[in-house]
């Protein structure tokens, strides 16, 4: 993530906003990140993640259940002792 100071924002706001369309940009004050500027699409992706639906295993749709079980199988395969 690129970092700019608040003073940079006053001098080169156009450049900073263009950069924020490509990747999130941090604005710093006294060396500490205070703000992050990101594109609307990136924000929507983040906001959408906060509305993830939770399921109990027995109530999960087949696709969710299958993905979970495949992940668990992969973990168990990695932790199994070699014969």
Which pLDDT belongs to residue 6?
93
**Domain that includes residue 59, residue range:** 53-83
How many CA atoms lie less than 13 Å away from 66 in the CB half-sphere? 3
Domain count, the chain: 2
SS (H, E, C) 7-33: HHHHHCHHHHHHHHHHCCEEEEECCEE
Q: Is residue 13 part of a domain?
A: yes
Q: Is residue 46 part of a domain?
A: no
For residue 8, the domain's CATH number is 3.40.1620.10
Q: Is residue 16 part of a domain?
A: yes
Same domain, yes or no, for 27 and 57?
no
11 burial (CB, 10 Å; 0-12 / 13-18 / 19+) is exposed
- For residue 37, the tally of other CB atoms under 10 A from its CB is 19
Asked whether the whole model's pTM tops 0.75, one would answer: no
Q: What is the pLDDT of residues 24-41, one digit of tens each?
A: 999 999 999 999 999 998
């Amino acid at each position: 993530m690129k970092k700019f100071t608040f003073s940079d924002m006053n001098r080169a706001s156009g450049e900073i906003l263009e950069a924020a369309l490509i990747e999130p940009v941090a604005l710093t004050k006294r060396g500490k990140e205070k703000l992050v500027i990101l594109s609307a699409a990136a924000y929507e992706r983040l906001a959408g993640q906060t509305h993830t639906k939770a399921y109990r295993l027995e109530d999960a749709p087949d696709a969710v259940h299958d993905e979970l079980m495949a992940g668990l199988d992969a973990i168990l395969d990695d932790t199994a002792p070699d014969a």
